[in-house]
Structure 1
């Protein structure tokens, strides 16, 4: 117990560095004293700091709508994001959502710097710790890239669009701004270097495994339009000990019917708890989307709850109101269906999609092969990954790779706000406060 308390103390002291200024503010060296490998493991296993993802991706997406009374209670940046402003933060407004990802990256860099300086730790243990740090650094940069950078070498890409870039925790040693090409090169290199040294079965799904690395690489390559690579990594995930939840066996009447850390969970992360924006008495699902679920589609009954004439979401893979943003087996099968269809393997696409849907429908009789199969796959992805934090990424990649154009609409205080899915409209500006700290 003393050992655990000491590690917790080190972690707490480590993060006394200000959320807004940690990239440049030099901490008191007398309190940054972790030395043993288990103390560094406590840094990277700190769930509250590491396993969070941004709120902005959810705020921008069209998974939900809010009433004017709720919108009026939002913080200014939330109000702006709900109206699709690409510069939502006021100059002096706290940018916690942005800084959370850099705090994750900083944590990883602390570990990577320590290992690079030389240790006397056991080799395999050290290699696994390094792999976990590389994994989370890559994941943090990917979350930032989806919001603040264009997709490399695609429509809307520009070397002028950059984000702060750190590969060391040494204060004052690096103050770079890099573009999407450099950032994604680091992301992919970090994950590929981490892969062989991650455990197949970590103690908890909050910790990255070898399968989680394949899953994240699959998600990233899908985003980049690299369909063969996305498919290859998704196939590797199927070698893991993951099983579909059969929605026929779940209690559809339960308040939150999908259990935490269920058999589909490949990697667990959740949206940062910065607000009440996603609560089921605030965020409502559009009635047109709700009606798109077939009568025998159990998702239509399991995911939603009628709430005095509005529809709330209750199908979180967290067992509560928190938004699950990790990777589950259903997403992997949807990636396999989509990539196979895009590569001309329609029979495989159908097989993967049917394997998923037989666990989602009552009395599922197979797919009707008439119509556009890719659109069917994307439609099922929309229905399965609702409230997972993936919708903004999907809209962005389709705008870039498929030239998909649509107009999203929201009504705010009696005024109609539109968002056109042009590639350049998906690039959020780095908050001015972060430039001031450079």
Structure 2
């Protein structure tokens, strides 16, 4: 019966919010409408719908390159994204990232709308359900904001740049387009409202816990440039039952030495399945980046594998080659190191980073011989979070907060494509199809 309910609800979500016109399409009245709390819990536990992150953030980043034959086999939007087009989707193309994130938001809004009707459900169970819906709505909007909006009140911000704003699943009621500050107000409000009713422990890290909410807030506040709040929320994670993996103890003979749902995993999400973009025979890692890993850096052996004379991604926190975009304990220590250093807490920053490095290096050098500054911390972040879906976000925030500008380059069929990391260049245009639906 439970599987039947999930199947019916999955059909509901697919039909109501399919890629073509998902923001305002009228649902089929013949489909079963969920009523019981069990049915709504099935919606919010739908891993395939909720625990996903966009592909565009990966495609835009400089974690990889592809050869010309691979690029020729990309779909049009993938080809455009690889060449850093700020408007990659053709007018009639399915807007994958945009639609999938709004499906997540729609699922959350379905639940929140029902709860606002004050159903006769167990109050504690309903509060937990609401907190999960708020969490995933915030998660979806943040993923969208990284791609389609500027960082609020920072370089490149403009009230002219907006995305569709939905806080209800009722069709045709809400058609606003909102700017970055309003979206981030909702993201932070949702997560803070969710926190008191999220459990500390869950059956699986695919389900949001209070630690997952703190972790997401730490990531968001670092992105916003609020180091004090990033430190506050990151420190909350250290109170939990999470433990850094010691890479010295892993079995490097295994195909995927880092196990799925390991002791570092706080929140598990992965990139939307796009093997045509990220599989090891397609995406290769720049040789300069590969050479930046020292011989005693165990991450290199875990991350890289030789493929046709080049280096490709082996896999990590998904237990296979899929791209992990969730939050693990290593990222928390990197957030603490960076935020503390920016706040002038150099001793704490060094301590945070060394706790991570000792688990990642073989025969780590005497800490007193290491020159740990912001550049060093960011280099460690780059290496630890390679192929984790965070690089585009990092390039964007560094260009805004640090005026860190560089030029990314890719060669396609003899043409050199360049991308200047200026704040205004990080804003992807809302697909025209979605403007047409407003």
Report the TM range for the smaller structure's normalisation.
over 0.9
Moved over 4 A (4+): 368-372
Match in the other structure for 2:410: 410
Secondary structure of residue in 1 paired with 2:111: helix
Distance 1:416 1:367, change over 3 A: farther
Please tell me whether residue 360 in structure 1 is matched to residue 349 in structure 2: no
Match in the other structure for 1:60: 60
1:129-278 mapped onto 2 (5 Å cutoff): 129-278=129-278
Deviation at 1:206, TM superposition (A): 0.3
How far apart in 1 are the matches of 2:225 and 2:203? 33
Deviation at 1:29, TM superposition (A): 3.1
* TM-superposition CA deviations, 1:190-227 (whole Å, max 9, x none): 00000010011111100000000000000000000000
Secondary structure of residue in 1 paired with 2:221: helix
How far apart in 2 are the matches of 1:289 and 1:3? 48
Check conservation: 2:53, 2:325, Cα contact below 8 A: yes
Deviation at 1:372, TM superposition (A): 5.8
* TM-superposition CA deviations, 1:152-195 (whole Å, max 9, x none): 00000000000001000000110010000100000000000000
Check conservation: 1:159, 1:179, Cα contact below 8 A: yes
How far apart in 2 are the matches of 1:343 and 1:34? 49
Deviation at 1:10, TM superposition (A): 2.7
How far apart in 1 are the matches of 2:234 and 2:111? 29
TM-score, structure 1 normalization:
0.98
Match in the other structure for 1:316: 316
Check conservation: 1:8, 1:42, Cα contact below 8 A: no
Match in the other structure for 1:9: 8
Distance 1:308 1:368, change over 3 A: farther
Runs of 5+ unmatched residues, structure 1: none
How far apart in 1 are the matches of 2:256 and 2:59? 22
How far apart in 2 are the matches of 1:163 and 1:341? 34
Secondary structure of residue in 1 paired with 2:276: coil
* TM-superposition CA deviations, 1:343-399 (whole Å, max 9, x none): 001111110100001000011134356646111100000000000000000000000
Secondary structure of residue in 2 paired with 1:381: helix
Match in the other structure for 1:305: 305
Match in the other structure for 1:381: 381
Secondary structure of residue in 1 paired with 2:41: helix
Bigger shift: 186-195 or 362-371?
Answer: 362-371
Secondary structure of residue in 2 paired with 1:277: helix
Deviation at 1:302, TM superposition (A): 1.3
Match in the other structure for 1:430: 430
Deviation at 1:109, TM superposition (A): 0.1
Distance 1:264 1:58, change over 3 A: same
Match in the other structure for 1:397: 397
Check conservation: 1:253, 1:302, Cα contact below 8 A: no
Secondary structure of residue in 2 paired with 1:216: helix
Secondary structure of residue in 1 paired with 2:73: coil
Secondary structure of residue in 2 paired with 1:320: coil
How far apart in 1 are the matches of 2:247 and 2:334? 17
Deviation at 1:108, TM superposition (A): 0.1
1:286-305 mapped onto 2 (5 Å cutoff): 286-305=286-305
How far apart in 1 are the matches of 2:436 and 2:275? 25
Secondary structure of residue in 2 paired with 1:263: coil
TM-score, structure 2 normalization:
0.98
Check conservation: 1:20, 1:96, Cα contact below 8 A: no
How far apart in 2 are the matches of 1:27 and 1:176? 20
Deviation at 1:275, TM superposition (A): 4.2
How far apart in 1 are the matches of 2:8 and 2:295? 53
Please tell me whether residue 107 in structure 1 is matched to residue 103 in structure 2: no
Distance 1:255 1:370, change over 3 A: closer
Match in the other structure for 2:33: 33
Distance 1:380 1:111, change over 3 A: same
How far apart in 1 are the matches of 2:276 and 2:316? 15
* TM-superposition CA deviations, 1:263-299 (whole Å, max 9, x none): 1000000000134200011000111101101111101
Check conservation: 1:164, 1:178, Cα contact below 8 A: yes
How far apart in 1 are the matches of 2:3 and 2:309? 49
How far apart in 2 are the matches of 1:422 and 1:7? 45
Check conservation: 2:302, 2:316, Cα contact below 8 A: no
Check conservation: 1:14, 1:32, Cα contact below 8 A: no
Match in the other structure for 1:122: 122
Deviation at 1:38, TM superposition (A): 1.1
